[in-house]
Structure 1
Amino acid sequence: MSILDRSTFFIKEHVGMMKLVDRYDIHDPDTDEKIGFVEEQPGQLVTYLRLLVNKQLMPTTIVVSDLTDNGVLFIIHRGVSFFRPKVTVKSPQGEMIGYFRAKLFSLGGGFLLFDANDQQVGDVKGDWKGWNFKLLSTSGEELGTVTKKWAGMAKEIFTSADNYIVALSPTIQSNRSLATLLLAAGLAIDTVFKESKN
Structure 2
Amino acid sequence: MHPALNQNAYFVKEHTGIFKASNNYDIYNPHTQELTLTCREENLGILTRLLRFSDYKRMTPFRIEVRTAAGEKVLTVRRGVAFFVSTVEVLDENDEVIGKLKQKFFSLGGKFNVFDAHDNYLFALQGEWASWEFKFVKDSLEFAQVSKQWAGMGKELFTTADNYMLSITDHVPQDNNLRTLILGSIMCIDMVLKE
> Residue 9 of structure 1 corresponds to which residue in structure 2?
10
Contact 1:13 1:25 in 2 (8 A): yes
Structure 1 residues 175 and 31, CA gap change in structure 2 (3 angstroms): closer
Q: How many Å separate the matches in 2 of 1:181 and 1:149?
A: 21
Q: CA deviation at 1:31?
A: 2.0
Q: How many Å separate the matches in 2 of 1:38 and 1:107?
A: 28
> Residue 68 of structure 2 corresponds to which residue in structure 1?
66
Contact 1:90 1:98 in 2 (8 A): yes
SS across alignment from 1:11:
strand
Task: State the one-letter code of the partner of 1:15.
Answer: T
* Percent of aligned pairs sharing the same letter: 36
SS across alignment from 2:171:
helix
Contact 2:89 2:97 in 1 (8 A): yes
> Residue 45 of structure 2 corresponds to which residue in structure 1?
44
Q: How many Å separate the matches in 2 of 1:42 and 1:102?
A: 25
Query: What is the TM-score when the length of structure 1 is the normalising length?
Result: 0.90
Contact 1:132 1:146 in 2 (8 A): yes
1:169-188 equivalence runs, <5 A: 169-174=169-174, 176-188=176-188
SS across alignment from 1:170:
coil
1:95-110 equivalence runs, <5 A: 95-110=96-111
SS across alignment from 2:135:
strand
Q: CA deviation at 1:33?
A: 1.3
Contact 2:58 2:191 in 1 (8 A): no
1:1-198 equivalence runs, <5 A: 2-41=3-42, 43-45=44-46, 46-52=48-54, 54-68=56-70, 70-137=71-138, 139-174=139-174, 176-195=176-195
Q: CA deviation at 1:59?
A: 1.0
Q: CA deviation at 1:42?
A: 5.5
Cα-Cα RMSD: 1.7
- Give the length in aligned residue pairs: 193
Contact 1:78 1:192 in 2 (8 A): no
Q: CA deviation at 1:22?
A: 0.9
Structure 2: gaps of 5 or more residues: none
Contact 1:41 1:60 in 2 (8 A): no
Structure 1: gaps of 5 or more residues: none
Which range moves more in the overlay, 150-159 or 111-120?
150-159
Cα shift readout 1:68-124 (whole Å, capped 9, x = no counterpart): 5x3111111111110111100112322111000111211111211001110110101
Q: CA deviation at 1:192?
A: 3.4
Q: How many Å separate the matches in 2 of 1:33 and 1:179?
A: 19
Query: What is the TM-score when the length of structure 2 is the normalising length?
Result: 0.92
SS across alignment from 1:171:
coil
SS across alignment from 1:191:
helix
Task: State the one-letter code of the partner of 1:187.
Answer: M
Contact 2:5 2:175 in 1 (8 A): no
Structure 1 residues 182 and 150, CA gap change in structure 2 (3 angstroms): same
- Moved runs in structure 1, 4+ residues, more than 3 A? none
Task: State the one-letter code of the partner of 1:38.
Answer: C
